Amino acid sequence: MIKNVAFDSGGVLIFTNNFIDYFIKNLLENNIAISKTDFLDSLSLAESGTKKLSEVYKNIDGFENLWIEALENNAKYNFELLNYYKNVLAKRVDAGILSNVDSILAKSGINKNLYKIFDSVILSCNIGYAKPCQEIYYEYLKKVNLPPEKVLFIEDKQEYIDVANDIGFETIHFINTQKTIEEIKKIILN
């Protein structure tokens, strides 16, 4: 029986609508040249806690504000799934966030408000591991004090689902909200 649901945030509970492309375009419009590939490499290091984006891009005035602005101008909550959690799931199971995020975006308003809703929050930037590294999944299990078969993990990236399955989590590959809610009902409400 499932006792906990671990949600990914970006792509599941928050739709980010290509905010990285928006961010790169915004920099270019301000005559700051940065390649998307280089930025994604730096972001990957930042999500795992290895480097801070603010250190990598310290030469860009207002970098943190531009990065947060890119997210907040392009992201929206998945209210349908959040309301389903609040009105149905929260009465049956605990839930948390298991997400890759850099330390700047972790402090953004949209994310901080989301984190308040959940019982447990494991963020890659805070623990030094990012999905698909198995350690981040084990950190979540330790935090909720449950074996993997008691946790349902909902994620939009198949690679991360595969690792969770290997560990023993029950999983749902998020494709769209309605399909995810139907799968949750089959797993938890039956």
Q: Which pLDDT belongs to residue 189?
A: 80
Q: How far apart (Å, rounded) are the C-alpha atoms in residues 151 and 72?
A: 30
Q: Let me know whether 82 and 69 are in one domain.
A: no
Q: Mean pLDDT of all residues in the chain?
A: 94
Instruction: Give the pLDDT mean for 78-101.
Output: 96
How many domains are contained in the chain? 2
Q: Tell me the pTM.
A: 0.94
CATH of the domain at 104: 3.40.50.1000
Domain containing 31 equals 19-74
Q: List, for residues 38-68, the tens digit of each pLDDT value.
A: 999 999 999 998 899 999 999 888 899 999 9
Q: Which pLDDT belongs to residue 76?
A: 94
